[in-house]
């Protein structure tokens, strides 16, 4: 019988793209378990732990895991962050589709991640700059970032690991991240980021805070300058906030 293949979408496929082949992964906040199913079906992981803080997503995850016939390869269970995840069994940890601050909280509550064995694949929905700051100031470094455009929305996926050696960073690193500037999707994401920073600058100017306004205006200009020769992402017209 032909195996039924899942189609998780570009955002989750980009997350999977950073998972090391042959690794055992943990998908935190798995919801429907689309990513674990994809990781098994693509032969990227022999085993995946799929956890979620809520019962209902885990019920749905188990249903999908059973539907795709991979109950022996994906273990689904409730867990607040990484609390119930067997740290000695996993090497690659994915946290996708959550706010940046929630991701920071989850990472902060799992100090065992401060070990070079682990790879972190993080896909924040907000406050990405605060997540990058947490990583840089806690001994992690960003290996790479991948920008994705799905259904008219732009996302970034961060691949990070603990190095123990402090990273020197500035506001540009926090807001621009570590994208490949020749990638048109990354250019579109950075162009959007520059626009947000320009709006922040205008807000500070209106509030009578010229120094802050200048800081964000300069950041916007610096980000814009690295992408000025890039074509925008094809799906740019469908952007949503």
Can you give the binding site for ligand SAM, defined by CB under 6 A? Answer: 12, 28-31, 52-54, 57, 80-81, 96-98, 102, 106
Contact assessment for residue 169 and residue 140, using Cβ atoms and an 8 Å cutoff:
no
Q: Residue 148 is inside which H or E element, if any?
A: strand 140-150
The nearer residue to ligand SAM, 23 or 123, going by C-beta atoms, is: 123
Q: Which two tokens stand for residue 17?
A: 């793209």
CB of 42 to ligand SAM, least distance (A): 17
In the sheet that holds 153-162, the strands lie side by side as 74-78, 48-52, 25-28, 92-98, 119-124, 153-162, 140-150
The nearer residue to ligand SAM, 23 or 30, going by C-beta atoms, is: 30
CB of 110 to ligand SAM, least distance (A): 11
CB of 206 to ligand SAM, least distance (A): 34
Contact assessment for residue 61 and residue 76, using Cβ atoms and an 8 Å cutoff:
yes
Distances (CA, A) of 238 to 74, 139, 155, 171: 35, 37, 13, 29
Instruction: Measure the CA–CA gap between 40 and 65, rounded to whole angstroms.
Output: 10
Angle at 224 between CA 219 and CA 229, to 5 degrees: 160
The nearer residue to ligand SAM, 17 or 184, going by C-beta atoms, is: 17
CB of 111 to ligand SAM, least distance (A): 16
Cβ contacts of 14 within 8 Å, gap of 6 or more? 123, 146, 148, 155, 157
The nearer residue to ligand SAM, 53 or 196, going by C-beta atoms, is: 53
CB of 119 to ligand SAM, least distance (A): 17
The nearer residue to ligand SAM, 104 or 197, going by C-beta atoms, is: 104
CB of 28 to ligand SAM, least distance (A): 5
The nearer residue to ligand SAM, 118 or 204, going by C-beta atoms, is: 118
DSSP, res 233 = P
């Amino acid at each position: 019988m032909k195996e039924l293949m899942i189609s998780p979408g570009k955002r989750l496929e980009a997350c999977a793209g950073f998972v090391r082949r042959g690794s055992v992964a943990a998908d935190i906040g798995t919801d429907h378990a689309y990513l674990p199913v994809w990781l098994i079906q693509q032969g990227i992981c022999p085993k995946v732990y799929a956890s979620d803080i809520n019962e209902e997503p885990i019920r749905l995850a188990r249903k999908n895991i059973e539907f795709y016939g991979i109950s022996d390869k994906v273990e689904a269970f409730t867990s607040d962050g990484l609390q119930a995840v067997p740290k000695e069994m996993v090497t690659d940890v994915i946290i996708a589709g959550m706010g940046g601050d929630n991701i920071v909280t989850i990472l902060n509550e799992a100090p065992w991640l401060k070990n070079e064995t682990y790879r972190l694949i993080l896909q924040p929905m907000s406050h990405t700059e605060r997540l990058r700051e947490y990583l840089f100031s806690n001994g992690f470094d960003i290996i790479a970032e991948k920008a994705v455009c799905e259904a008219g929305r732009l996302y970034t996926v961060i691949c990070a690991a603990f190095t123990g050696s402090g990273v020197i960073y500035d506001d540009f690193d926090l807001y621009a991240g570590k994208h490949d500037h020749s990638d048109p999707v990354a250019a579109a994401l950075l162009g959007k980021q520059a626009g947000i920073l320009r709006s922040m600058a205008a807000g500070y100017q209106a509030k009578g805070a010229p120094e802050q306004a200048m800081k964000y205006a300069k950041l916007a200009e610096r980000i814009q300058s690295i992408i000025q020769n890039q074509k925008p992402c094809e799906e740019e017209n469908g952007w949503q906030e």
